[in-house]
Structure 1
């Protein structure tokens, strides 16, 4: 596989971001695209005003489970992890299953839940607890009945954060690879991975990945390629979606480089479809923050793109186009057992939306 030079690809990505900001956006709106099977809110009203960072999984029982954090606002100590199940064609009322209440000391906010259905095992819920992303720690809890009830939360080992935003993947040898990252280090944002050979009983940290192009990246997603290579794509501060590659099953990774997709410093998620295509959900915009959101880029539109090689991407569906205060952000994506694609994302920090796509119509 030929990869363009890091410098040329980084420059190209910034050009793409500039074009996006100039108004070159416009694919089909979600309601008009034939691939959109359904689009709905997981809930209409809640006991808390703000939500963010959804995640979705399909259980061994055959139904969907979604989770997100909700509370007064991000970083507030009352923020907890909420879970809903999709049963009999509808989402159940969200239930708080985890919070940051401490045995000693003040209550802490919770962050970024990640659902993962362990093959032949329980449904796992990873999340973070702490005052901010620089100081948080990883937690995990299990459900043996598809998210109906949950066991006692346990803290992950020191130095292991768990999947930071996006789902772990199962490697061909049956081991688990968890995409992770850190913020607030002397070296800036750093991408790393966490590997388990014993179904999550123990973990080994891999990385951090060396910086190739001048990119600060976090929140990777892992993709599989037919030649055996792994790819991770991730959010950056530099106006582009980043990527890194592994040719040895995730043990080592290439230096960070840029894709040809823009990124407004906002989370993405990606998945390898059963037909071999790579799919990413992301905000197709660069920086230029609105006055009410200094330091943050435009978190709209929200788009879906496909790639055959993980390098060149093409937009195929626009899920959201209209500006709003907090944007449409932090998507999560899976492909269900029936082949359909399920996407959840934050809708203006007020609700969580669930969209189903038919991949045959992309």
Structure 2
């Protein structure tokens, strides 16, 4: 596979370019995009030998405004005892400090994860030492902070929960919002009621002043949707018409009020899935994941993360028009990147800049692929 590093034009009209962000590790996954005020585009992800191992760290690359290639990745985390995952970039509007938030867990034990933060005062060149932003154990993040109309900061998160004596498999995860009314100095928490199985909550402000959120489903059935008048109290998540294979999604509200989403057009109905416990390729068979107390619904893993698709909705997520962004069989029954068996297309991140849509996503757990689309391509 030739992972070209320079932006190449795939279609002059409508505008569509792509490349692969350089990688310095065997495995890469879970990218997150942020554009700085000077026009530079940052992309952070986690990389190492394999998810869950302690050499998994946070890395970041920069596409300078007007440039055609991404910078050499910068490693910006260094815990030798924990797997550091799911980076989220945030620019503090009060002082322009750049934050990076991420999770840190021992091995595959997501129920032991904590959320950490580092801060850069020079837009990502030099970083502070790591600190726990929250001490809550089992807390995970994937999506960025949203600033509400009253100035409060809201960070969507979820708890990875498991029965005592067993290891985490995702059967009992619930979503919460962490919120701060003093620019991140102190935080409170509010649970999203009846959200079991709904994770990766992605919050966006609508033009009418209310808020909407979309979720990944542990049940590998559909993308779920919730609404809120104030960004703190949320309705019970309900399934949309969009499928979901228990994998990440990302959405954005366009200038005209339409909602854009990137997701996998697959679900448990595509097969190659299992319920008996999370596969991670790093723990022994007898790892306290099997024979757990039965739940009314159980997490489904290994559904192909295929057919990465762009959707646009004109009615706040009730109905969608879709177009395929990247096709592939999406095989993901292993997280082992050394054998190069994994072919998932997953975990999109979006940054909209006027009429251009920047998307980064995991390509086969070997590279982060970056594409820049014109809205006319999506609509065409």
Aligned to 1:119: 93
Aligned to 1:320: 326
Aligned to 1:86: 63
| Partner SS for 1:267 | coil
Aligned to 2:254: 273
1:235 and 1:219 map into 2 onto residues whose CA distance is 6
RMSD (Å), alpha carbons: 2.4
Would you say 1:254 and 2:228 are equivalent positions? no
| Partner SS for 1:180 | strand
Would you say 1:40 and 2:14 are equivalent positions? no
Deviation (angstroms), 1:309: 2.3
Aligned to 1:11: none
Deviations 1:74-119 (A, max 9, x none): 0011111001011233210001111223xxxxx1111100111222
CA contact (8 A) 1:182 1:191 kept: yes
CA contact (8 A) 1:163 1:178 kept: no
Cα 1:355–1:313 shift into 2, 3 Å: farther
Deviation (angstroms), 1:200: 1.5
Structure 1 gaps of 5+ residues are 1-29, 102-106
Deviations 1:319-343 (A, max 9, x none): 111225331001111213x442111
Would you say 1:332 and 2:349 are equivalent positions? yes
Pairs within 5 Å for 1:179-198? 179-185=156-162, 188-198=172-182
Would you say 1:359 and 2:375 are equivalent positions? yes
Pairs within 5 Å for 1:117-266? 117-120=91-94, 121-131=96-106, 132-159=109-136, 164-185=141-162, 188-211=172-195, 216-238=197-219, 239-247=221-229, 249-266=230-247
Pairs within 5 Å for 1:24-35? 31=10, 34-35=13-14
2:247 and 2:12 map into 1 onto residues whose CA distance is 24
CA contact (8 A) 1:126 1:139 kept: yes
Deviations 1:142-183 (A, max 9, x none): 112221221222111323888711111111122211111122
| Partner SS for 2:266 | coil
Cα 1:48–1:344 shift into 2, 3 Å: same
Give the TM-score normalised by structure 1. 0.82
Greater relative contact order (CA < 8 Å, ≥ 6 in sequence): 1
CA contact (8 A) 2:139 2:159 kept: no
* Residue number among 31, 49, 54 corresponding to 2:31 in the alignment: 54
Deviations 1:249-307 (A, max 9, x none): 12211112111100011111111112211111100111234389893111010011011
Deviation (angstroms), 1:130: 1.1
Cα 1:254–1:291 shift into 2, 3 Å: closer
Which moved further from structure 2: 177-186 or 134-143?
A: 177-186
CA contact (8 A) 2:193 2:234 kept: yes
* Residue number among 72, 75, 79 corresponding to 1:96 in the alignment: 75
* Residue number among 42, 46, 49 corresponding to 1:72 in the alignment: 49
Aligned to 1:8: none
1:53 and 1:74 map into 2 onto residues whose CA distance is 11
